[in-house]
Homo-oligomer: A and B are copies of this chain.
């Protein structure tokens, strides 16, 4: 993994560069942050020619380590106006890793308003005209490209909202079955790819193969250790059998941190119908499949395929956040309706999290009622089709709140709050405040921390650890959430690359990533004062725990003392 592909969309030229030595320990999220800081003016318009979107597999993408093939997209976000990284499973990360591609930098902007296809192979990259793909859903464009380029390629694509540069637009990535069900979702990467005139990217790794570890024996040992850990670690069977959605019932009925009806409660009476064991047993009894990998070699297997009662494919990768935000947060307890909503989101290329929170605000605006999944589907279609109302909703919860004069809006730094209520999950709340990502995935802490300062401390360590994991392209669920130790993660890198890094070296990489992201945002004009949750999280008691988010501003500001 030593090549950087630079795709100049202004001149429609591609070039291959050697990755400079300073990028040696960087991949995925860490590499995108470094390149953005070096090459992009933080004050630029997110949809203008000066923004770039960087696609980078993690440092371990070329390896045979399980769950190491996640692909990062880094860019200045039209939603947050700051730096954003989003990462995804599926097949693209591994293919890029095997092709030796450390990053694809998409830059410039076509002067002709045309739509283009980028094709990446072992021979390099080519920009091809793709006006014929205009207006297609991600499912349609993926199928069209598989018909031409073969079923084994990876396809990254945007739907019509991405072409229109809607701020909640995703880049849909193909899963192991060739379906565009995995989303680079958060922060509007689809809008930025759309602003570059790129409808889709085809990655064909024909002729490439995983790269053997430099220290084969050590590598085999650490793989075996990880596999054993995953078998023995608490919850192994639960995850395998019920995936992430399995945890929804716990978050509702025990942890009380589920977002319910626009974040007005932490527990949902319909929780057992949209998550937890019973829901999954029911779905699998009707023909759905659970316990599937989202990328080759995964032993976590928290993915799924949801089929309707006639056996027709609806969607894949129906996860906790989706069921929580398109379900509980909208008062919807019909799991098939939720699956259909998520399918629509994937087909249009829209972020389930931003969608669920936006529709919650739409309820406050009088545009729909809680529990009305038919109306919710209508509203998703408005966004997909780009109606005037869809133009508002497609900009996400913050803009929807503005357009309808709503002051109670669950957003931070312009982006929807994910499905972990910070009133209970105070450590996750600190992550929302301090991370440039403002996502739970940047440092999730399900369990309440004992104090304000402990919440900050816990969030800091979680964010450093997750940054390390995201740098390597590892799945944070399969590593961080399963509590596989970061010391051992260091051993993986050492074995693969023949290095002698210590835990402290890895920690320093993690810290550097957080600080580089922070630097970008400061230079973009997003100061520490923006590290604040909306007032209602601090004032409205969340039933049934009756907690508020009570981490103090000064504790939050102390986060950066490292």
The answer to the question of A165 belonging to the interface, with a C-beta cut-off of 8 Å to chain B, is yes
Partner of A388, one of B388, B525, B532: B388
Pair B47/A405 contact, Cβ less than 8 Å: yes
One digit per residue, 1 when the CB lies within 8 angstroms of any chain B CB and 0 when it does not, for chain A 381-409 equals: 00000001101101100010011111111
Per assembly, the copies of the chain total 2
Stretch at the interface among A37-45, A208-216, A423-431: A37-45
The answer to the question of A3 belonging to the interface, with a C-beta cut-off of 8 Å to chain B, is no
Do A395 and B399 contact each other (CB < 8 Å), given the known contacts A45-B534, A532-B525? yes
Cα of A170 to Cα of B47 in the assembled complex, Å: 30
Cα of A50 to Cα of B530 in the assembled complex, Å: 17
A515 partner residues in chain B, CB cutoff 8 A: none
A47 partner residues in chain B, CB cutoff 8 A: 405-407
A46 partner residues in chain B, CB cutoff 8 A: 407
The answer to the question of A280 belonging to the interface, with a C-beta cut-off of 8 Å to chain B, is no
One digit per residue, 1 when the CB lies within 8 angstroms of any chain B CB and 0 when it does not, for chain A 511-530 equals: 00000000000111111111
A532 partner residues in chain B, CB cutoff 8 A: 43, 525
One digit per residue, 1 when the CB lies within 8 angstroms of any chain B CB and 0 when it does not, for chain A 83-119 equals: 0000000000000000000000000000000000000
Cα of A166 to Cα of B309 in the assembled complex, Å: 46
Pair B395/A403 contact, Cβ less than 8 Å: yes
Majority SS of interface residues in chain A?
Answer: loop
The answer to the question of A164 belonging to the interface, with a C-beta cut-off of 8 Å to chain B, is yes
A137 partner residues in chain B, CB cutoff 8 A: none
- Shortest Cβ distance from A146 into chain B, in angstroms? 28
Q: Which of A44, A46, A191, A525 has the most CB of B within 10 A?
A: A525
A529 partner residues in chain B, CB cutoff 8 A: 42-43, 522-527
Partner of A48, one of B389, B391, B525, B535: B535
Pair B407/A45 contact, Cβ less than 8 Å: yes
The answer to the question of A531 belonging to the interface, with a C-beta cut-off of 8 Å to chain B, is yes
The answer to the question of A78 belonging to the interface, with a C-beta cut-off of 8 Å to chain B, is yes
- Shortest Cβ distance from A55 into chain B, in angstroms? 21
The answer to the question of A315 belonging to the interface, with a C-beta cut-off of 8 Å to chain B, is no
A166 partner residues in chain B, CB cutoff 8 A: 405
The answer to the question of A167 belonging to the interface, with a C-beta cut-off of 8 Å to chain B, is yes
Cα of A562 to Cα of B50 in the assembled complex, Å: 33
The residue on B at minimum CB distance from A528 is B525
A43 partner residues in chain B, CB cutoff 8 A: 529, 532, 535
- Shortest Cβ distance from A514 into chain B, in angstroms? 17
The residue on B at minimum CB distance from A161 is B405
Cα of A44 to Cα of B45 in the assembled complex, Å: 26
A42 partner residues in chain B, CB cutoff 8 A: 529
Q: Which of A44, A195, A527 has the most CB of B within 10 A?
A: A527
The residue on B at minimum CB distance from A47 is B407
A406 partner residues in chain B, CB cutoff 8 A: 47
A523 partner residues in chain B, CB cutoff 8 A: 529
- Shortest Cβ distance from A189 into chain B, in angstroms? 14
The residue on B at minimum CB distance from A402 is B395
Cα of A389 to Cα of B391 in the assembled complex, Å: 9
Pair A45/B409 contact, Cβ less than 8 Å: yes
- Shortest Cβ distance from A443 into chain B, in angstroms? 20
The residue on B at minimum CB distance from A165 is B405
Extra contacts besides A50-B535, A164-B405 (17): CB < 8 Å: A43-B532, A43-B535, A45-B409, A45-B534, A46-B407, A48-B535, A164-B404, A165-B405, A194-B405, A195-B407, A391-B392, A522-B527, A522-B529, A526-B527, A526-B529, A527-B527, A527-B529
Can you sample 29 A-B contacts with CB below 8 Å? Answer: A43-B529, A43-B535, A44-B535, A47-B407, A48-B408, A49-B407, A50-B535, A78-B402, A164-B404, A167-B402, A191-B405, A194-B405, A195-B407, A388-B388, A391-B404, A395-B399, A395-B402, A399-B399, A399-B402, A523-B529, A525-B526, A525-B527, A525-B528, A525-B530, A525-B532, A526-B527, A526-B529, A527-B527, A527-B529
Top 9 A-B pairs ranked by shortest CB distance?
A: A525-B530, A527-B527, A165-B405, A525-B529, A47-B407, A43-B532, A48-B407, A391-B403, A45-B407
